[in-house]
Amino acid sequence: MPSRQTVEAFVALVEAGDYVGAIEKFYAPDASTRENNDAPVVGRDVLMAKERGVMAAFSQIDALRIGPSPIDGDATATRWRFTFTGMDGTVRVLEETSWQTWRDEQLIEERFFYDPKQMKG
């Protein structure tokens, strides 16, 4: 079960825009993520590379946690608002909920739930 301090430190890194750093510091080497019903992406190094690719596609990405992140045993949930600014200045806002499973103080699985239509113009 993660401590409140660990979850808050993770949130702080994400809100600071250090998305790759958050993965590197808090995800287990065998961690996986899954977006909606897509197949999981497995492995911390793979996840960091994927995140670098997302970041390269935008001139800016801002994250804001909406409300608290409840902890129930090894599970946490966080509601996020991400604002993506494209290279052409186009702004898109994505609200999502992430459901996380932790092994002690390391994130081992994260699933993102969102409506992909939010990213369409």
Q: Where are the domains of the chain?
A: 4-115
pTM over 0.85: yes
For the stretch 3-12, contacts whose Cβ atoms lie closer than 8 Å and that sit 24 or more positions apart, written own/partner, are 3/105, 4/71, 6/105, 7/69, 7/71, 7/76, 8/69, 10/107, 11/65, 11/69, 11/78
The pair of structure tokens assigned to 121 is: 């113009």
φ and ψ at 89, to 5 degrees? 90, -5
Model confidence at 119, pLDDT cuts 50, 70, 90, reads confident
121 band by pLDDT with thresholds 50, 70 and 90: low
Record: fold of 4-115: Nuclear Transport Factor 2; Chain: A, (3.10.450)
